[in-house]
Amino acid sequence: MRMNKNSSNVMALAPNTSNKRETVCIFGTGDFGRALGHKMIQSGYPVVYGSRSTQISNLIPKDAEVLGHAEAAQKAAIIIIAIPRQHYNFLTPLAEVLRGKVLVDISNNLKLNQYPESNAEHLAQLLPGSKVVKAFNTVSAWALQSGTLDASRQVFVCGDDVEAKQMVMNIVRALGLTPLDKGSLLAAQEIENYPLQLFPMWKFPIFLSLGLTAFFFFYCVLLDIIYTYIYEKKDFSFFIAITIPNRVCPVMALILLALVYLPGIFAAIIQLYRGTKYRRFPDWLDKWMLCRKQLGLIALGFASLHVLFTLVIPLRAFVRWRTSTRIISQVMNNKTEPLDHTNAWLSDSYLALGILGFFLFVLLGITSLPSVSNNVNWREFRFVQSKLGYLTLILSTAHTLVYGGKWFLSPSTYKWYLPNIYILSLIVPCAVLVVKFLLIFPCVDKPLTQIRQGWERNPKYSEQSNYIINKSAV
Amino acid sequence: MRMNKNSSNVMALAPNTSNKRETVCIFGTGDFGRALGHKMIQSGYPVVYGSRSTQISNLIPKDAEVLGHAEAAQKAAIIIIAIPRQHYNFLTPLAEVLRGKVLVDISNNLKLNQYPESNAEHLAQLLPGSKVVKAFNTVSAWALQSGTLDASRQVFVCGDDVEAKQMVMNIVRALGLTPLDKGSLLAAQEIENYPLQLFPMWKFPIFLSLGLTAFFFFYCVLLDIIYTYIYEKKDFSFFIAITIPNRVCPVMALILLALVYLPGIFAAIIQLYRGTKYRRFPDWLDKWMLCRKQLGLIALGFASLHVLFTLVIPLRAFVRWRTSTRIISQVMNNKTEPLDHTNAWLSDSYLALGILGFFLFVLLGITSLPSVSNNVNWREFRFVQSKLGYLTLILSTAHTLVYGGKWFLSPSTYKWYLPNIYILSLIVPCAVLVVKFLLIFPCVDKPLTQIRQGWERNPKYSEQSNYIINKSAV
Amino acid sequence: MRMNKNSSNVMALAPNTSNKRETVCIFGTGDFGRALGHKMIQSGYPVVYGSRSTQISNLIPKDAEVLGHAEAAQKAAIIIIAIPRQHYNFLTPLAEVLRGKVLVDISNNLKLNQYPESNAEHLAQLLPGSKVVKAFNTVSAWALQSGTLDASRQVFVCGDDVEAKQMVMNIVRALGLTPLDKGSLLAAQEIENYPLQLFPMWKFPIFLSLGLTAFFFFYCVLLDIIYTYIYEKKDFSFFIAITIPNRVCPVMALILLALVYLPGIFAAIIQLYRGTKYRRFPDWLDKWMLCRKQLGLIALGFASLHVLFTLVIPLRAFVRWRTSTRIISQVMNNKTEPLDHTNAWLSDSYLALGILGFFLFVLLGITSLPSVSNNVNWREFRFVQSKLGYLTLILSTAHTLVYGGKWFLSPSTYKWYLPNIYILSLIVPCAVLVVKFLLIFPCVDKPLTQIRQGWERNPKYSEQSNYIINKSAV
């Protein structure tokens, strides 16, 4: 029989050929407890459930045993605590039985930082004689049971006892998952917060992008469709599908890319003004700097859409109609236009600048993939993100300037005295590039470099405000 | 001299400044044994070979020593067993010499699950006094020797003795490879099967795609080339290069994308019908669900080809000829067509829908990269793959409907009474979307959610068929 | 108070609820020492600095204590040595205080392999009673302090004492970084060299590409702009923006892709000639083989630029002008050209070949992403890189042949008796494909396979030149 009859209070680290996997005990017959039990039985582990009542447990996997808590705990060296934190107190009477055992806390909370200390640390305080390991909370019961673990197979594990942690990590591996050692039990809080997050770093960049996109979209609808309808009696409502998105996307891409580099500019100015790097930046600047990657990737998304929208232009029915109308009108007027060299230069230049800018932008995006950025050192990462990033911004700004430049001074573009969105889109990138250009002048760059290397213009100031000399007081 | 003269039966964990690397013994002078020895000598390890005959070993690396098996084994704490499994029996007489030593099993089999137990476990049973570690079997001798390890540098390591495993992992690291701890020796079977696989998860999706592609290709050749040739006496054989691939690719992309979401629909219906989630799905459904990611990536490949084939349309000689012919005929007939607003709307709409659908599809593809999906939690992964995935399917289906809609009712498209492939391509996606729409109605969604949370409509039923109440029998 | 008053010479591995993190001592109040101290205090570690003078330390984080070296060391089990290697000697008098302590060497050098042994090994030799761990040297002080760790969060850790390493890795995790165990202290040299590198594998491929690109660019400027200006008095200087880049990019992509497969051809020929695989390849061939991945990725970059430059062709003012001029001249001459079927075939074929080639090329690029190539085994990697790679080369060469074929024999393309760059670009790929075709003939393939499996045509030869028979000399 597969069932392990003798009490395995003594840990069997050496595999026993007749019964290869050690028995695992699960406290609690809730959904996740059952799913985990199923999976463990499939992977060859004898499973024994600890339950208050052994009568109503008809959902328990059929190969599992169901016993009272104390009896079940005695059968295994590892006990998985699949009960909610609110009921942890009932484990205290079992302290003697659980002494020396490995307790696996798999609980999750309903909101971030719900309790002052993590569930696993709470459990460790209640049962100081047991070895608590946090694991499995990032895995979904549904995914575990249906076997469709397309999602992350990583299981974060933490705990203070190294051997206990190793035993739990071996079970994780046996279930086909990848354990990731996150260190001591202090990491439990972070691990418990992890599955509750939904792209926390992306929230601000996405809302900012949605807001700006809506603004620019309606601005374009106003100037390109409503204005034309009122003053020229022409219906260009189909511009909503491609023409206007292809105006909004490049504008968004350029502005968001500039917003990636703007906080660095602010930081440099603040450091120059303060004359020290040892004071914290304002909170808004810190937060802004932390979401630069996300802003850049959203900008890359808009740039990609702009590329696609631009490349389909020759396929549009409207554009094909306009092209043939122009040719026919030339034929009708019996004139052949010579090649306009300035126009050929401008047209080819802005296309070439755009292509190079987009190419570098995609390179930046690729280097921000986790597996790529983990394979470059800090010097290489700085080179790519800073040097290539600024080159991308320069090329994109030049692309927009060459494309929209001719409209700057032409009064016909100022419908209702409102500027074209090309002009609006250039404000932030041009400001960033001008200030960055000033910052690389030696007379500014030298003191800035010194400050960043730890030099202080006015040590007294920072000393009074931030640091205290700790005289040795032993 | 580099050679370690005194018998190193005692493990030297503390590095010794005069002889930094501990001696490694290799049993067997076959190709992989020699390649590994070369590499180890390059990395600074003294290597001693154990061989039946010390005469014929002229291929052995020149800095290595060659001794009899017993003598060689006595010189090292780690012995690499580079001999085939069939000859493991000859090691049993050496059991006493090998007691307490670390034996590294590097063997591979010729086919999956060739033996009931893995080679490493077989070795551990033959020599219970030694510490067996499985490693290096996933590395190619050729790649190891030529130094061109572009491929995976990961070396899977497993073993029951933690210290022995650490020693082997240190050697792996010293050779410039990345060890990956797979747990106890039970993982050896999986590790031995690994290098024999050739995209096992991709086989069914690829054969399905090839079959469907061939069918749709010949269907198009029949309707677009042969039919036209017979009834209109026109030779459009060059359609084989771009026109027909650009019909087959979008059809394949749409059908395969719908096939990604179809098994989820089936699963929901089965669960609703059974009233429980605690019964296994039929085998075909389980297998289908496990290859959804591969189906989706192949669909993305077809979609990318469709985008490229579409974007080169204006560059095709045939298209340029057709455009100029149309314009010239307009001029000859002395008429200028006004802009057809309906056509402009339709044309711009299906292009915009296609662009957005493709953009989301690429996003889905990026999140399925291992390094990205490891960095999102389960909730985020579900959000992307389920919400964004359905949005992609909706946009792609709408793109096809708007593009092909006008042909549905026109009789001229039913050549030989066969429907156009646009119509065929829409069956599966439309069915998936309609049923999914029904499933999100509260009257269906509520019981389904309950079932997925573990509720059962008819507990008796599942109890009888699947589970046995285990009364405590201690 | 948070300060740990009693001397913690005894390591407190079990977390203490009143003071959760163990005190860390930092020797040296330089920039990195201060940044690390700041970050540790933020993460809840009590920090005590060891400094020669406790007077001038006004930049020290305010919550840190500053003591003399010996007093500070007594307060902690872990001491971070944030002083330059040149000053390590002053630690020798402290040997007694530091006995049994964990010393973390975080130093970096100014150039690669600056000293014969690594700084960490030097430290371990000076203080043999301490447990030296190398860590943190790959992290930037600036990034650590500003909290903007977009770059790699990996911290390489190595050391001979497993427990000491674990303690340091726990601190690394607590700071929000990812420790990566690189094995024993022998890895310190490599870890110290790591942050000094700037894409070392990319240097040769990038310089080669830049050189070739410059050559082909000026070759095209000469033939397409200067020749036309001199002999036809036409100004096509705007070709510099798109037309010429779109000639150079495909040529570069094709040549670099062929250069990826050329060293494999050379290696096969050398092995066939020598009749053995047990002799090293010449150095230039070894180096070339090691940068094949980089060459391939640069080729992919050029191919992507070629695709973008090609797809914008219909948007160029010059092309639109040329199209309408052609149509108008047809109208003027009152003739309508029939469809040229040969031209339609050629045009569609080279576009389709190019699309398929580029598609496979992108697939190759994706499989070279670290996270993807780590998830395929060696057999799968070989299949993709060798089979799919050659298919890509065949498709790309065919694409160029079909496109440029008609110009081969036309004398007008030989301006100034110089061949068109299409012809130049085909030399290397055609040579590679022809020789590869010869190598897969059975009469060549069979001996080559034997050689690669370890067979030798002339064992004596290799024996004399490379190996020495080591008779057992015990």
Q: Residue A467 and residue C309: Cβ atoms within 8 Å?
A: no
Which residues of B are less than 8 Å from A154 in CB distance?
374
Average pLDDT over residues B339-348: 89
Residue C56: the pLDDT is 53
Q: Give the closest-approach CA distance of B4 to chain A in angstroms.
A: 33
Q: How many CB pairs under 8 A join B and C?
A: 200
Q: Which of B3, B18, B34, B58 to mutate to test the interface with C (most CBs of C within 10 A)?
A: B58
Residue C386: the pLDDT is 85
Q: Looking at the complex, does the CB of residue A152 fall below 8 Å from at least one CB of chain C?
A: no
Q: Are residues B191 and B254 in the same domain?
A: no
Q: Are residues B54 and B161 in the same domain?
A: yes
Q: Give the closest-approach CA distance of A276 to chain B in angstroms.
A: 36
Residue B385 CA: distances (Å) to CA of A150, A301, B378, B390, C90: 10, 18, 10, 8, 59
CA B312 – CA C398 distance, rounded (Å): 18
- Among C327, C370, C467, select the one facing B62 at the smallest CB separation: C467
Residue B431 lies in a domain: yes
Q: Are residues A88 and A205 in the same domain?
A: no
Chains in contact with A, where contact requires at least 3 CB pairs less than 8 Å apart: B, C
Q: Residue B369 and residue C370: Cβ atoms within 8 Å?
A: no
Please name the residue that has the structure tokens 């039946």. B52
> Three-state SS for C295?
helix
What residues 373-402 of chain A have any CB closer than 8 A to a CB of chain B? 374
Phi, psi of B133 (to 5 degrees): -125, 135
CA C457 – CA A216 distance, rounded (Å): 74
Residue C47: the pLDDT is 92
pLDDT-derived band of residue B287, with 50, 70 and 90 as boundaries? confident
> Three-state SS for C104?
strand
Of B465 and B271, the one with more pLDDT:
B271
CA B234 – CA A216 distance, rounded (Å): 50
What residues 44-63 of chain A have any CB closer than 8 A to a CB of chain C? none
Residue C12 lies in a domain: no
Which distant-in-sequence residues (6+ apart) come within 8 Å of B429 by Cβ? B254, B255, B257, B258, B393, B396, B397, B400
Q: Are residues C158 and C244 in the same domain?
A: no
> Three-state SS for C134?
strand
For residue B48, list its beta bridge partners.
B25, B65
Which tokens belong to A78?
């590892």
Of C327 and C460, the one with more pLDDT:
C327
> Three-state SS for A259?
helix
Q: Is the pLDDT of residue C145 over 80?
A: no
Q: Are residues A383 and A237 in the same domain?
A: yes
Please report which residue ranges of C221-244 form alpha helices under DSSP H: 227-232
Q: Are residues B188 and B312 in the same domain?
A: no
Residue A151: the pLDDT is 54
Of B276 and A342, the one with more pLDDT:
A342
Q: Are residues A152 and A288 in the same domain?
A: no
Angle, CA C150 vertex, CA C146 and CA C155 arms, to 5°: 90
Q: Looking at the complex, does the CB of residue B455 fall below 8 Å from at least one CB of chain A?
A: no
* Mean per-residue pLDDT of chain C: 83
Residue B356 CA: distances (Å) to CA of A14, A211, B443: 57, 19, 32
For residue C24, list its beta bridge partners.
C47, C78
Residue B439: the pLDDT is 92
CA A251 – CA B441 distance, rounded (Å): 40
Q: Looking at the complex, does the CB of residue A407 fall below 8 Å from at least one CB of chain B?
A: no
pLDDT digits (tens, 9 = 90+) for C370-410: 888 877 887 888 888 889 999 999 999 999 999 877 766 66
Average pLDDT over residues B236-251: 93
- Longest CA–CA span in chain A (Å) reads 104
Q: Which of B47-51, C34-38, C292-296, C429-433 has the lowest mean pLDDT?
A: C34-38
pLDDT digits (tens, 9 = 90+) for C286-296: 888 888 889 99
Query: B452 lies in which domain range?
Result: 200-459
Q: Residue A182 and residue C166: Cβ atoms within 8 Å?
A: no
What residues 260-289 of chain A have any CB closer than 8 A to a CB of chain C? 267, 277-278, 281, 286, 289
Domain-terminating residue out of A154, A176, A196: A196
Q: How many CB pairs under 8 A join A and B?
A: 199
- Among C146, C235, C315, select the one facing A351 at the smallest CB separation: C315
Q: Are residues A224 and A187 in the same domain?
A: no
Instruction: Determine what percent of chain C is predicted with pLDDT higher than 90.
Output: 36
Residue C469 lies in a domain: no
Residue of chain B whose Cα is closest to the Cα of A236: B341
Q: Looking at the complex, does the CB of residue C447 fall below 8 Å from at least one CB of chain A?
A: no
Q: Which of C315, C332, C372 to mutate to test the interface with A (most CBs of A within 10 A)?
A: C315
CA torsion angle B285 B381 A170 B140 (round to 10): 80
Residue B142: the pLDDT is 65
pLDDT digits (tens, 9 = 90+) for B207-228: 999 999 999 999 999 988 998 8
Q: Give the closest-approach CA distance of A277 to chain B in angstroms.
A: 32
Residue A17: the pLDDT is 34
- Among C17, C154, C304, select the one facing A359 at the smallest CB separation: C304
SS (H, E, C) B294-355: HHHHHHHHHHHHHHHHHHCHHHCHHHHHHHHHHHHHHHHCCCCCCCCHHHHHHHHHHHHHHH
Which residues of B are less than 8 Å from C286 in CB distance?
147
* ipTM for the complex shown: 0.83
Residue A465 lies in a domain: no
Average pLDDT over residues C229-258: 93
Residue C304 lies in a domain: yes
CA C142 – CA C135 distance, rounded (Å): 17
Residue of chain A whose Cα is closest to the Cα of B351: A312
Helix (H) or strand (E) holding C181: strand C178-181
Average pLDDT over residues C248-277: 92
Q: Are residues A37 and A58 in the same domain?
A: yes
Q: Residue A64 and residue B182: Cβ atoms within 8 Å?
A: no
Q: Are residues A169 and A40 in the same domain?
A: yes
CB distance A70 to A97 below 8 Å: yes
- The DSSP letter of residue B387 is I
Q: Is the pLDDT of residue C2 over 60?
A: no
pLDDT in tens, chain A (474 residues): 333 333 333 333 333 333 357 899 999 887 788 888 888 887 778 999 988 776 555 667 778 888 888 899 999 999 999 888 888 988 888 989 999 999 999 988 888 888 888 999 999 999 999 999 999 988 877 667 655 555 567 888 998 887 898 889 888 887 878 888 887 888 888 888 888 888 888 999 999 999 999 999 999 999 889 988 998 888 888 999 999 999 999 999 999 999 999 999 998 999 888 887 767 788 898 888 888 889 999 999 999 999 999 999 999 999 999 998 888 888 888 777 788 888 899 999 999 999 999 999 999 999 888 888 877 887 888 888 889 999 999 999 999 999 877 766 666 667 777 888 888 899 999 999 999 999 988 888 888 888 876 676 765 444 333 333 332 222
Q: Residue A174 and residue B183: Cβ atoms within 8 Å?
A: yes
CA A89 – CA A122 distance, rounded (Å): 10
CB distance B142 to C452 below 8 Å: yes
pLDDT-derived band of residue B411, with 50, 70 and 90 as boundaries? low
Q: Are residues B238 and B374 in the same domain?
A: yes
Q: Give the closest-approach CA distance of A474 to chain C in angstroms.
A: 8
- Among B310, B373, B472, select the one facing A71 at the smallest CB separation: B472
Q: Which of C16, C150, C239, C302 to mutate to test the interface with A (most CBs of A within 10 A)?
A: C150
Residue A419: the pLDDT is 82
CB distance C154 to A374 below 8 Å: yes
Domain-terminating residue out of C196, C213, C230: C196
Residue A470: the pLDDT is 31
Residue B41: the pLDDT is 84
Q: Residue B359 and residue A197: Cβ atoms within 8 Å?
A: no
Helix (H) or strand (E) holding C253: helix C245-274
- Distance of alpha carbon B111 from its chain centroid, rounded? 19
Q: Are residues A176 and A221 in the same domain?
A: no
Residue B469 lies in a domain: no
Residue B19 lies in a domain: no
Structural domain count of chain B:
2
Residue B134: the pLDDT is 94
CB distance B75 to B87 below 8 Å: no
Of B187 and B245, the one with more pLDDT:
B245
pLDDT-derived band of residue C247, with 50, 70 and 90 as boundaries? very high
CA A80 – CA A157 distance, rounded (Å): 13
Residue B18 lies in a domain: no
Which distant-in-sequence residues (6+ apart) come within 8 Å of A203 by Cβ? none
Domain-terminating residue out of B164, B196, B228: B196
Q: Residue A328 and residue B326: Cβ atoms within 8 Å?
A: no
Residue A150: the pLDDT is 52
For residue A178, list its beta bridge partners.
A154
Q: 10 Å Cβ neighbour count for B35?
A: 23
Residue C371: the pLDDT is 80
Chains in contact with C, where contact requires at least 3 CB pairs less than 8 Å apart: A, B
Q: Looking at the complex, does the CB of residue B339 fall below 8 Å from at least one CB of chain A?
A: yes
CATH number at residue B47: 3.40.50.720
Residue A318: the pLDDT is 92
Q: Looking at the complex, does the CB of residue B160 fall below 8 Å from at least one CB of chain A?
A: yes
- Longest CA–CA span in chain C (Å) reads 104
